[in-house]
Chains A and B, each alone.
Chain A
Amino acid sequence: MMKPKVAFFDFAGCEGDQLQVANLEEDLLALLGKVDVVCFREVMKECDEDYAIAFVEGSCTRLQDEDRLKRIRENAKIVVAIGSCATIGGINSLRNYKNLDEVRKTVYGEKAKLFDTYEARPIDAVIPVDAYVYGCPIDKDEFLHVVTSLLMGKKPDIPTYPVCVECKKNENVCAFERDQFCVGPVTRAGCDSCCVNEGTICWGCRGLVDNPNENSHKEVLIKYGLTVEEAIGKFKLYFGWQEGKK
């Protein structure tokens, strides 16, 4: 069997997800036995336009990026969004709550007019996406699961249930019982509740589950002591684009 050619691309993001891939260590070697990487800015100079699978990191934050995304879509058989920014808009979407002219002035000062921008969005707001690797950053095992699934021609198995499921299986003490405030009950699982395992909270980096009960969870946050505004703020960090769509 010919090895499928894969390429990595990045838009507005920190490239942390590609770094996770570059850090796969021995699994990376096994992976390279199965695919040919033709474009990966983080580890190689060359870039070829002939590829079957495109991994796209970062959110789309300006109109002119859409053309580049569309070209990737035309070239690739399979487009995989990787990381929070590409899959759900990510923390870039925080700015969607603000006046975009002010956002530009804050970042670029006097030269603001030279830099175009629009609401930060996940790449599936621009092009059709075939598979998603959620997370900020992505989880190495889940990335490998998605890649092996695609190579086998099956749909990756990405949880539709919230992080609580993994927290319970890992026998974590609930963040709320530690007087902390967590959005795990509305956030898509698949990370093995890695943040809560370390004694902190779920920030929501994998985005909302398909049918979150947001009202109920906001009530929970308030019941446990947050103000209404603080509760809404909990939903802004990662869910900006998903919330804005409603």
Chain B
Amino acid sequence: MRLISKKDFSNFVNALINDDSLNIVGVKAKDQKFSFGPLESAGDLRLDYDVTLLPPKKYFFPQRETLFGYSLSKGFVAEKPAETKPLILVGVHPYDIAALLHMDEVFKDTKSDPYYSERRNKSVIIGVNIQKICKNCFAPQMGTATIDEGYDLMLTDLGNRYAIDIGTLKGKNLLAKYAKNVKTAYTRDIQLVGQKEHEIYAKAQQKLDFSPDRIPGLLEKNYEEREFWEEHAEKCLACGSCVLVCPTCYCFDVKDQPNLSLNKGERIRTWDGCLLEDFAKVASGENFRATRLSRYRHRYFKKGKYLFDRFGFISCVGCGRCSSNCLPDIANPVTLFNDLYNYTLEKGVKVGPPTSPEVEIKTEGNIDFVPRVAKIVKKTPMTSLETLFEIKLEDGSELSHEPGQFVEVSVFGVGEAPISVSSPPTKKGSFELCVRRLGNVTTKLHSLNEGDLIGIRGPFGKGFNPDSLKGKDLLFIAGGLGIAPLRSLFNYVLANRKDYGKVILLYGCKEPKELLFGEEVLSLEKRDDVEFKPTVDWCPEGELWDGNIGVITTLIPQVDFDPQRTYAIVVGPPIMYKFVIADLKERDVPDDHIILSLERRMKCGVGKCGHCQINQIYVCKDGPVFNYSKIKGVPEAL
């Protein structure tokens, strides 16, 4: 540990400011509050602050950032971001450092976010131990009031001097280059630092009635307690303040901004929040967390349970910003968790000791936000709403997808939409997407012509894994547009027919004119190695239909299958699953013999943006194809 007088520390900060090759940011006063901002002189620095309005994450994951540019003539242009100066953050409290360490895990999970990691790698964190504690802060309870990692230098105010703990070589070098009169600390100074750190723990006004490691278990026991959640969520303004100021929240939205000439523009990423009304809404209009209750509860579960299951930490550092920013005063985690704890005690329910989840964070390369350019080679209208697009990647490569995976389709200036691949991987040279005209992207896609360029990212997610189904009997059940992802597996099975047992396809849609892949599926009736049964919910007068009339479940009793040998592959609108699964269970199909594909708002495709999250599951990464046995206990899945 080192020592520096306050005067020499000011000189150190001023020396950093005077070096034009560096970007110095520190805590400054803002009205009656504090915020991180560019430092013009060491005198602006307020290391005696309680909490900043926004956490320092804004420097690594900004409120708004350009991901790349596009031009109608040149395609997608990943503009090299201007060489940014190394960022030096002065005055970060331990809880915010802890939060950055959480963010690091999230942004490097599976694939690393290049925008975030580049900024993080280029930064220097000069922390400071808390001197004044904000009234809503409960960092001491969360074990983040002090910290021994995640900083390059850590300051402790000792009156007329600062103690400096050197965390990294980077920090040491910075001190050596810019600071003068740095001395080695005496034992009594080191003891004093320990004493100061200890004192912070006594200063917290917010106290949990129980150990925070019980939070995941406490939540798990109380998901279904609607009355409790309703009572707390009733006053929620759905304003998103609690999540926007949170140092560990990372959900984002991505959108295109065309310039006025319309032939150029950029794709931007902005902060988003799961408390906001449309967060989990998909293009068809379905909102998977439409109620205040479901969004309010989701926030606590995400912080206290879902991220714990995934990463092994409770994603709350106790900074208290959410409580300070909630006008109806319902966002305070301490109050909520204490209420929940006491509610649980009153009910006589015991919360078991914490179990540590198995955590394995692997990083395989970077997320590529920039799409590959692809060409529409064929456009075949199928119904009034759906069109089949045949797509070829411009670089001549294969998509190399697994049946059931999806791609993110970009239309210049409009944005991206997740679309499942309808062709089997056995089709070479191009792939097919069956697209319903629904939202902005798909509507614009329908107006494009053969030869027009689009963007493709992916394939993403987990598919049907056709190898695992080899030798089994297969019962395909498709409802409406569900035939699109299902077809990628179905046609793969037909192409490798001898590898599979009995094959049955049940396909239902609303009325005959909505039948997708009409000729293709109807020709199945001629095959003797496939049993095919179509149905329509109803047939308007004057239209021809000699098949079954009735919802898809009316077909299930009409087919004969051995539930032990059969795997049912079910894809359809959300409402369909409940009924089909119930009927399959009636026929004694085991849970792990039911495979389904879920639809959610898959925005980023790489498990980061948060939009497709169902409880602890990211549909884009853990799905969209799931084994029913794995999701039947997930409350929001079906």
A contacts, CB < 8 Å to B = 27, 30-31, 33-34, 144-145, 148, 151-155, 157, 160-162, 164-165, 168-174, 176-178, 184-186, 209-211, 213, 216-217, 219-220
Most chain B beta-carbon neighbours within 10 Å: one of A151, A169, A173, A177: A169
Q: How far is the CA of A144 from the CA of B258 in the complex (A)?
A: 10
CB-CB under 8 A from B54, the residues of chain A are 168, 171
Q: How far is the CA of A14 from the CA of B270 in the complex (A)?
A: 34
A108 → B minimal CB distance (Å): 41
Among A31, A162, A186, A213, which residue has its beta carbon within 8 angstroms of that of B260? A31
A216 with B237: CB separation less than 8 A: yes
Closest to B239 in A: A164
A213 with B241: CB separation less than 8 A: no
B31 with A217: CB separation less than 8 A: no
B255 within 8 A of A: yes
A148 with B258: CB separation less than 8 A: yes
Complex A-B: 18 CB contacts under 8 Å: A27-B260, A144-B260, A145-B257, A153-B443, A153-B447, A155-B440, A157-B255, A160-B278, A161-B239, A161-B276, A161-B278, A165-B273, A168-B54, A171-B35, A171-B53, A177-B32, A211-B238, A220-B237
Interface flags for B241-272 (1: CB within 8 Å of A; 0: not) read: 10011000000000101111110000000110
Given contacts A148-B262, A155-B440, A213-B292, A165 and B327 within 8 Å (CB-CB): no
Given contacts A160-B278, A173-B32, A176-B327, A30 and B237 within 8 Å (CB-CB): no
A34 with B260: CB separation less than 8 A: yes
Q: How far is the CA of A145 from the CA of B33 in the complex (A)?
A: 34
B511 within 8 A of A: no
A34 with B262: CB separation less than 8 A: yes
B235 with A162: CB separation less than 8 A: no
A152 with B262: CB separation less than 8 A: yes
B240 within 8 A of A: yes
B33 with A177: CB separation less than 8 A: yes
B262 with A173: CB separation less than 8 A: no
Most chain A beta-carbon neighbours within 10 Å: one of B58, B244, B259: B244
Q: How far is the CA of A209 from the CA of B413 in the complex (A)?
A: 26
CB-CB under 8 A from A170, the residues of chain B are 63
Q: How far is the CA of A30 from the CA of B259 in the complex (A)?
A: 10
CB-CB under 8 A from B262, the residues of chain A are 34, 148, 151-152
A161 with B277: CB separation less than 8 A: yes
B contacts, CB < 8 Å to A = 30-33, 35, 53-54, 58, 63-64, 234-241, 244-245, 255, 257-262, 270-271, 273, 276-278, 292, 325, 327-328, 413-414, 439-440, 443-444, 447
B291 → A minimal CB distance (Å): 10
B542 → A minimal CB distance (Å): 31
A213 with B440: CB separation less than 8 A: no
CB-CB under 8 A from A169, the residues of chain B are 63-64, 244, 270-271
Q: How far is the CA of A155 from the CA of B413 in the complex (A)?
A: 12
B271 with A217: CB separation less than 8 A: no
Contacts A161-B239, A170-B63 known; 14 new A-B pairs at CB < 8 A: A30-B261, A161-B238, A162-B238, A162-B239, A164-B237, A168-B325, A169-B270, A171-B35, A171-B54, A174-B327, A213-B292, A216-B234, A220-B237, A220-B327
A181 → B minimal CB distance (Å): 11
CB-CB under 8 A from B276, the residues of chain A are 160-161, 165
Q: How far is the CA of A174 from the CA of B327 in the complex (A)?
A: 9
Closest to B243 in A: A168
A217 with B444: CB separation less than 8 A: no
Q: How far is the CA of A172 from the CA of B234 in the complex (A)?
A: 26
CB-CB under 8 A from A219, the residues of chain B are 235, 328
Given contacts A148-B260, A165-B273, A174 and B325 within 8 Å (CB-CB): yes
Q: How far is the CA of A168 from the CA of B262 in the complex (A)?
A: 31
Q: How far is the CA of A30 from the CA of B263 in the complex (A)?
A: 13
Give the number of A-B contacts (CB < 8 Å): 113
Closest to B276 in A: A161
B53 with A173: CB separation less than 8 A: yes
Q: How far is the CA of A160 from the CA of B500 in the complex (A)?
A: 49
CB-CB under 8 A from A185, the residues of chain B are 237, 239, 327
Given contacts A162-B237, A173-B33, A216 and B261 within 8 Å (CB-CB): no
Given contacts A168-B241, A168-B325, A211 and B277 within 8 Å (CB-CB): yes
CB-CB under 8 A from B244, the residues of chain A are 164-165, 168-169
Q: How far is the CA of A172 from the CA of B54 in the complex (A)?
A: 9
Among A145, A157, A165, which residue has its beta carbon within 8 angstroms of that of B239? A165
A77 → B minimal CB distance (Å): 15
Among B58, B261, B277, B328, which residue has its beta carbon within 8 angstroms of that of A160? B277
Closest to A214 in B: B237
B261 → A minimal CB distance (Å): 7
**Complex A-B, nearest 10 residue pairs according to Cβ-Cβ distance, in ascending order:** A164-B239, A168-B244, A30-B260, A216-B235, A169-B63, A154-B440, A161-B276, A173-B31, A220-B327, A185-B237
B27 → A minimal CB distance (Å): 12
Given contacts A148-B260, A173-B33, A177-B32, A161 and B240 within 8 Å (CB-CB): yes
A217 with B237: CB separation less than 8 A: yes
A188 → B minimal CB distance (Å): 11
Q: How far is the CA of A209 from the CA of B325 in the complex (A)?
A: 20
A63 → B minimal CB distance (Å): 35
B410 → A minimal CB distance (Å): 13
CB-CB under 8 A from B271, the residues of chain A are 169
Given contacts A171-B30, A176-B327, A213 and B238 within 8 Å (CB-CB): yes
Given contacts A157-B255, A161-B277, A165-B244, A152 and B239 within 8 Å (CB-CB): no
A152 with B328: CB separation less than 8 A: no
Most chain B beta-carbon neighbours within 10 Å: one of A33, A170, A220: A220
Among B245, B270, B414, which residue has its beta carbon within 8 angstroms of that of A154? B414
A213 with B273: CB separation less than 8 A: no
B25 → A minimal CB distance (Å): 13
A154 with B240: CB separation less than 8 A: no
Given contacts A27-B260, A34-B260, A152 and B414 within 8 Å (CB-CB): yes
CB-CB under 8 A from A173, the residues of chain B are 30-33, 53
CB-CB under 8 A from A144, the residues of chain B are 260
CB-CB under 8 A from B238, the residues of chain A are 161-162, 209, 211, 213
Closest to B281 in A: A160
A216 with B440: CB separation less than 8 A: no
Q: How far is the CA of A160 from the CA of B258 in the complex (A)?
A: 21
Closest to B292 in A: A213
A168 with B240: CB separation less than 8 A: yes
B606 → A minimal CB distance (Å): 22
Q: How far is the CA of A157 from the CA of B253 in the complex (A)?
A: 12
Q: How far is the CA of A145 from the CA of B413 in the complex (A)?
A: 11
Closest to A164 in B: B239
Closest to B62 in A: A169
Q: How far is the CA of A147 from the CA of B127 in the complex (A)?
A: 47
A96 → B minimal CB distance (Å): 25
